[in-house]
Amino acid sequence: MSDENLLDKLPTDLIFRLPPSFETVEEERQHRKERLTAALRIFGKFGFEEGVAGHITARDPELTDHFWVNPFGMSFKHIKVSDLILVNHEGKVVEGRYPVNEAAFAIHSQVHQARPDVVAAAHSHSTHGRAIAALGQTLEPITQDVCAFYQDHGLFDDYTGVVTDLEEGKRIAAALGDHKAVILRNHGLLTVGTTVDAAAWWFVTMERSCQVQLLAKAAGTPVPIEPENAALTHQQIGNDIAGWVNYQPLYDQITREQPDLFE
C-alpha cells in the first residue's frame, strides 16, 4: 500500500499524528535537527554505539547537498541539538564546533547524492546487525515485522576496511539501490527514509529482526512466510508513513525522559 493510499484510509474524526508540514525552511530545519538528535539519543539508549562508530544524517531542507550529522567522538547519549554539525558536499563543516567522522561523510554523502528522495540515513555498529553482516546474510521473511524489508534491502557483499573513500561510499549507495536498507558485510546496517523518523525506525526494527533471525535459527528451522503474504505484508507495513507512525512512541519516550536534547 502506498503512502497516499494509507492516508486515504485514515479516520477523519480521530486524533492521528502524521508528518507535519512547514511554513518556512527555518521551521523545517529545526524540526529535522530535533528529530535527528532524538534519534541519536534513542540509538544511545539502545546500545547501538561502538566507540566513535555510527552516525545518522539529515539532509538540510534548503542546502540540499548539505547534511546535519552527529559530531565525531561524542556519545549518542549526550548529543544536543546545539552539538549537531552541518557538512557540505566537500566534507567541510560549515556550521558547528566539532569535526565530522570521515566515514560518515564517505558513506552518507554518496547515499544522499544517489537518493534525492532520502532525507535521512542511519548507520551504526549494532550487535545483532553485525552478527548478520558477519554471516553475509540477508533477512528472511520469518516474522510479520521483518516483512517491512521483504525484497526491500540489499547486501554490500564486500569489506575493504574502514570506509574513508568516496568510491567505496558510491559502491555502498549502489548496493542500497532504491531499497530502504542495506546490510554491509562484516560491518553493520544502514537504513534510509523520507523522514528522520522513518530512517531511525527502520534501523531499530531491522536490528531487532536480525536478533530474531539469529535466535530462530539457533533454536531450529524457521517457518518462512509465503512469498505472496510476505509481499502483502510489505505493502502494509513497509512504507515510510508506517515507519514514521511506528517511531512516534519511541520519540515520545526519549523526549520526555531526556528533554535536555533540545538544548
pLDDT mean for each 10 residues of the chain (263 residues): 57 75 96 98 96 95 97 95 96 94 90 97 97 97 98 95 86 97 97 98 98 98 98 97 97 98 97
C-beta of residue 210 within 8 angstroms of C-beta of residue 149: no
Q: Smallest Cα–Cα separation from 251: which of 31, 71, 47?
A: 31
Residue pair 200/119 in contact by the 8 Å Cβ criterion: no
pLDDT score of 10: 57
d(CA 131, CA 105): 24
What interhelical angle do 102-114 and 166-176 show, nearest 10? 50
> How far apart, in whole angstroms, are the C-alpha atoms of residue 245 and residue 228?
25
SS3 216: helix
Q: How many CB atoms lie within 10 A of CB 114?
A: 16
85-87 sheet: strands from edge to edge: 93-95, 85-87, 67-69, 55-59, 120-124, 188-193, 181-184, 153-156
Q: What is the pLDDT of residue 3?
A: 56
